[in-house]
Amino acid sequence: MRKREILLGNEAIARGVVEAGCEVASAYPGTPSSEILPAIARFADELGTKTAVEWAVNEKVAFEVAAAAAFAGKRSCAVMKQVGLNVAADALMSVAYFELAGGFLVVVADDPGPHSSQTEQDSRAFAHFAKIPCFDPATAEEARDMVAVAYDLSEKYHMPVMLRPTGRVDHARQDVELREIAAPERPAKFTKDIRRWVCLPAHVRLNHPQLNAKNDAIREEFEMSFDAFTYEVPTKEKAKLGIVASGVSFAIVSDLLAAWGRTDVALLKIGTPVPLPVRRVESFLARHEKVLLLEETYPVIEEQLRDRTKVLGRWNGAVPREGELLPEVIAGIVARALGEPLPEETDPSLKAALEELQVKPRPPMLCPGCPHRASFFAIRKAVPNGIYPSDIGCYTLGVNQKTVDSAICMGASVTQPSGFHLAYRVDGKEQPIVATIGDSTFFHMGIPGLVNAVYNRHAFVLAILDNSITAMTGGQPNPAVGEKLRKGDSGRAVDIVGVVRGCGVSFVRTVEAYDIPAGIDVVKEAWEHARREKEPAVVLFRHPCMLLRCEQARIPVRVDQEKCVGCRFCINFFNCPALRFDEEKKKAFVDDRFCVACGVCREVCPHGAIVPIREEE
């Protein structure tokens, strides 16, 4: 009997990647995809494969590294989240035209909801745009199974193939069968052929018809085979409703219908939404009076249908055009499609448990002891009339301290200040600007913007909040750390200060992030330099992320109730979860459940009410 193991969805995908014989895997972390690459490294270590496993500085780099390995005949994969595909899109659109030598899997994890993303986009639409096939798993085990099939399809048609799990597949746990490594050895062999590997316009004109022909052939395959992923669930009686469902929506609606005891609703599961096996769907439509179409997040299947008059979907408002299709949302949609009231809740235990726990939602905030909190406080004190562009990462939570005025996408914190600077400069005005970016994000996409600002002499301060980790996605290393994933594999740390100086920045200072007075002084000095010399200045606020659980001095504090005037300044402008306010006493106090005794808040209270606890207290 084969061994089985309960795996996270992302671990199941990783297991499939290693089992399929992938030899080069590259990724940039991003929720909900972040656990895939570390799990590839773990399984590669356990199974003793020679797979190269690397974090890349961004998704475009990850994609191109993996693509080149496929040029040389290796099975490779690039892993990212949906907004990461925007960064890699330029390369994806070109490589789709290539005649690859090895299998190339692109895993893009989508975040309907969204829970930790700046957009709610659907990567299946990108697969449709790039004209590459896409698999849409409903469960963790199916995602693993799709990996091997996707590699076979990639090698058959010599093109990239996308696997698009969503967060509820990535983070579900399931009992998964562990299989042996099936793929044969593939020695690296790059055959020089400029028509094949160089995207000159003359070659593109020849390759585009071939790409279209591949899509037609794959669509025909999806019509005739791939029954493990695209299939009908027949009814025991005449169907009152037909439902076409893709991805995790299929799993949810299957569970709902089973819980309701419905045997009069027919299901068509689509595991291969791009290119859509249109004849299968049209046959299903022809056999039912009305058909509900459930898919996340965009109407990718729906818009590939030529006739939607029978379809209840997004085009006629039957399905919401945004938001995650949660079980309670799908339940309401199905009930309305059936023309029936929503069935009574048969298992009220979850609702009762939540009421008993009295769980109260509260807005996200930086962790207790987070060095970014002190950095934001220092920036606001130093330049109170500034504009504060920021970036994607933990530091977006600086919005609570009113030191994040704008955020677009990764790296835009370094380009936005250029735009603000120019907008004021053309009016003959001088505007203080302090932008914030993290160390990992600086390597991801911050460097080009800084080079542009130096070249064009844009005056602003760039604060790099260096906590030696990629924190928001779970603590992955970045080039400044130098650590790698596989046992015995070592990297080399890249010096951020050297990179900044190499970009041409003449003012570069480093400050301990916990030292608020020093931070205030250095930001003031930096802005004065930027203003005077008409060029960007860079300040690195350095302190390890609290998630690293580093050793550091403990400075327990309390709020002196005699000195506290109840102004809430510490809460509104420092925003530490350990600083609370007693509404009855109208005084701030330290909540010991959250305080990590970093002692930074001693510098915050304008009345000196936050004081260290003496040993005798």
The least confident of 486-490, 550-554, 574-578 is: 550-554
pLDDT band, very low/low/confident/very high, at 616 (cuts 50, 70, 90): low
CB under 8 Å to 252, separation ≥6 — which residues?
A: 325, 326, 327, 330
For 612, how many CA atoms within 13 A lie in the half-sphere containing its CB?
10
Is 357 a residue whose pLDDT tops 80?
no
Integer angstrom CA distances of residue 230 from 65, 268, 273, 278:
32, 7, 9, 12
Predicted pLDDT at 95: 97
What's the CA gap between 90 and 96, in Å, rounded? 10
Is 555 a residue whose pLDDT tops 80?
yes
Predicted pLDDT at 343: 83
Is 150 a residue whose pLDDT tops 80?
yes
Contact status, residue 142 vs residue 136, Cβ threshold 8 Å:
no
Cα pseudo-dihedral 252, 254, 255, 260, rounded to 10: 120
For 18, how many CA atoms within 13 A lie in the half-sphere containing its CB?
26
Predicted pLDDT at 152: 96
Predicted pLDDT at 217: 97
Predicted pLDDT at 521: 98
Q: Which tokens in the block code for residue 207?
A: 């390759």
Is 363 a residue whose pLDDT tops 90?
no
The residue with greater pLDDT, 374 or 615, is: 374
Predicted pLDDT at 379: 97
60-106 confidence digits (pLDDT tens):
999 999 999 999 999 999 999 999 999 999 999 999 999 999 999 99
pLDDT band, very low/low/confident/very high, at 448 (cuts 50, 70, 90): very high
Q: Which tokens in the block code for residue 258?
A: 């089973």
Write down the H helix ranges in 400-515.
412-425, 439-441, 447-456, 496-502
The least confident of 452-466, 483-497, 519-533 is: 483-497
pLDDT band, very low/low/confident/very high, at 617 (cuts 50, 70, 90): low
Predicted pLDDT at 358: 65
Burial class (CB in 10 A: 0-12, 13-18, 19+), 278: middle
The residue with greater pLDDT, 195 or 125, is: 125
Contact status, residue 556 vs residue 613, Cβ threshold 8 Å:
yes
234-249 confidence digits (pLDDT tens):
888 889 999 999 999 9
Contact status, residue 285 vs residue 291, Cβ threshold 8 Å:
yes
pLDDT band, very low/low/confident/very high, at 347 (cuts 50, 70, 90): low
CB under 8 Å to 158, separation ≥6 — which residues?
A: 98, 99, 100, 101
Strands 24-27 and 231-233: unpaired
Predicted pLDDT at 342: 85
- The 10 Å Cβ neighbour count of residue 306 is 6
What's the CA gap between 229 and 246, in Å, rounded? 10
CB under 8 Å to 24, separation ≥6 — which residues?
A: 51, 52, 65, 66, 69, 74, 75, 76, 77
Find residue 81's DSSP bridge partners: 109
Predicted pLDDT at 183: 66
pTM of the entire structure?
0.92
Predicted pLDDT at 236: 83
155-210 confidence digits (pLDDT tens):
999 999 999 999 999 999 999 999 988 766 789 999 999 989 998 888 889 899 99
Predicted pLDDT at 476: 87
Predicted pLDDT at 269: 98
519-538 confidence digits (pLDDT tens):
999 999 999 999 999 999 99
Mean pLDDT for the chain overall: 93
Sign of CA dihedral 218, 223, 224, 229: positive
What's the CA gap between 70 and 25, in Å, rounded? 11
256-285 confidence digits (pLDDT tens):
999 999 999 999 999 999 999 999 999 999
Give SS3 for 609. Answer: coil
Write down the H helix ranges in 2-112.
9-19, 36-47, 59-71, 82-95
Bond before 544 cis per omega within 30 degrees: no
The least confident of 302-311, 393-402, 541-550 is: 541-550
561-589 confidence digits (pLDDT tens):
999 999 999 999 999 999 999 999 999 99
The DSSP letter of residue 260 is H
Is 487 a residue whose pLDDT tops 90?
no
